[in-house]
Amino acid sequence: MVFYNVCFLVSLLLSLIYIFWWHRHYDVNITIIFLLIPLNNFFYASMFNNAELYLTAQKLIYFAGCMLPWVITMCVLNLCRIRVSRWVRTASFTLNLLMFVGILSIGHYPFFYREITVVKTAGGLLVTKEYGPLHSLFYVMVGLYFGVGVCILLYCYLKKRQVSRRILQRLFVPQVFAIASYLLAHVPGIDVELVPLSYIIAQIMYLLIVHRMVLYDVSDMVIESMVETGDTAFLTLDFKHHYLGSNERMRTIIPALGKLAIDQSINDEAELKANVIHWLGHFEEDESAVKNLFVIRDKEDDSRDQMFIVNVNYLYDGRRRRGYQIFLVDDTQNQRYIRLMDSYNSELEEQVAAKTDRIVQMHDNLVMSMATMVESRDNSTGGHIRRTSEGVRILIDEIRKGDTFQLTEDFCRNLIKAAPMHDLGKIAVDDAVLRKPGRFTDEEFAIMKKHAAEGARIVHEILKGTDDEVFHKLAENVAHYHHERWDGSGYPDGLKGEQIPLEARIMAIADVYDALVSKRVYKESMSFEAADAIIMEGMGKHFDERLKPYYEAARPRLEEFYKNNSEQ
């Protein structure tokens, strides 16, 4: 009795700690676990006090015994980021309920216990049981759940790099103790059941997990940071333009939103027709028209106008589109620079030059930020744009020393500047393909190959307003043709030989070299010797053979760079 009472009090304390720590992004299964375990341990503590209550407590203990392994397995699947279909969840839960129905037959029908007697004695309760077929099936079911859980954890530990090893280790501990407690339940000489203790160990492990797990939910953490800092305003609506919510920053910028009730339609709100409804109209007509400029004018001084970039996109619930989300990003400073550029005259040429340099720097930073953002979606190519850009720089240094290609200063500068843009087209590739932790199927690779042409289109859109047409064309070529091959077997257009622009031929060597010597989720990094053999074998087939001597000359510097910049 002392053992069971202590287990109950400890589990209750741990659940109170969980409630104190509770965060809305915690897995609902973990919350259920912290609810069921104290109840289960309470039933253990209470069932030996009263013969009349014994059978009721026994039924409730077995109810927790049915539900907890199922909930723990669902929790393991969620934390390991493994999707389970609704049919599997529903079917397994239904089997649990059917088992509980059988448990309710205790004392009435011989399905779970063929016979059970409870007699109160001076030393406590004397219980004799004869197990029925459902009891054996119950142990099979519990063992199956824990077996599945262990297999999932082992698989994720060996195969999935995007799941925290710390969480996997902590999930493994309660699985082992739970299995051990069930096995020890029938060992002669052990007078208490260890299941309550195993549940307490599970609670401790889950407390350690939840204390850190929210940090791994990157999307939620970013959104919450945006909400807390107030730098970004956002608004959500369903497809019928019903108001779903907004943050305080958005309501400050557009006060009319503060008068709306949740689920109220915005279509009849006159104050919103010139902004929110206008932006939605643009997006519904053309989904590529996701940006607008929103200006809050100062009646006394237009230099104090506030200007925001408006981004409209779909609101997703998992993979389902449920409505629209609108973000406003303060762009006042940038827009003021643009206004200044439009109003400068010849007397302010030096200021125009300074501001123009600033705009160019901002533009370059924007391009680099976009490239970094695209790369951050791809869980297999971290640091790729930085390394390939340096690879291009090293190759160009060697090519300029020779006389095969007469490279101008502008060409070299533009190619180095364009190199980070070569994979921008990946922004259009679906996450399911881009972030796949393994090799692509033929269908997935066909989708991935579209990034080259899509990248050229994006680069064209980004640079179509620039005065530097030479850089514009070169950057498009790099994005479009860096996967073409000298023998015509590449993509997207199957160009051959000198049909492939020189800038794309140079980019191809840097891109392939990085792919070979860098670690990816589907492969380990290749040795410099093995990578060099593949590059050299590809000369005249994959790559322009005239670039061979320059690659050979650049190889020591490439190896030195990658030795000093290897991924940790």
pLDDT digits 0-9 by tens, 508-564: 999 999 889 887 766 788 899 999 999 999 999 999 999 999 999 999 999 999 888
> What is the average pLDDT across 152-164?
77
Structure tokens of 43? 């039933």
Architecture of domain 356-564: Orthogonal Bundle (1.10)
Structure tokens of 187? 């060992």
Compare 400 and 339 and report the one with higher pLDDT: 400
Q: What percent of the chain has pLDDT over 70?
A: 81
The domain limits of the chain are 2-214, 220-332, 356-564
pLDDT band at 156 (very low <50, low <70, confident <90, very high): confident
Residue 382 has pLDDT above 60, yes or no: no
Fold agreement between 220-332 and 356-564: no
**Single-letter residue type at 117:** T
User: What gap in Å lies between CA 335 and CA 332, rounded to an integer?
Assistant: 5
- What's the whole-model pTM score? 0.41
Please, are residues 195 and 181 in contact by the beta-carbon 8 Å criterion?
yes
> What is the average pLDDT across 503-507?
93
- The CB density around residue 489, as the number of other CB atoms within 10 Å, is 11
Please, are residues 113 and 134 in contact by the beta-carbon 8 Å criterion?
no
Residues contacting 136, CB < 8 A, separation 6+: none
Q: What is the pLDDT of residue 108?
A: 81
Q: What is the mean pLDDT of the chain?
A: 80
**Single-letter residue type at 124:** G
CATH topology of domain 220-332: Beta-Lactamase (3.30.450)
Q: Could you write out the DSSP letters of every residue in 114-137?
A: EEEEEEEETTEEEEEEEE-HHHHH
User: What gap in Å lies between CA 69 and CA 147, rounded to an integer?
Assistant: 10
Q: What is the pLDDT of residue 507?
A: 93
Give the CB-side neighbour count of residue 514, counting CA atoms within 13 A.
Answer: 25
Helix axes 51-79, 165-184, angle to 10 degrees: 150
**Radius of gyration of the chain from its Cα atoms, rounded to whole angstroms:** 32
- The CB density around residue 372, as the number of other CB atoms within 10 Å, is 13
Please, are residues 105 and 111 in contact by the beta-carbon 8 Å criterion?
yes
Structure tokens of 9? 């009090």
Determine the CATH number of domain 2-214: 1.20.1070.10
pLDDT digits 0-9 by tens, 312-339: 888 877 677 888 888 888 777 777 776 6
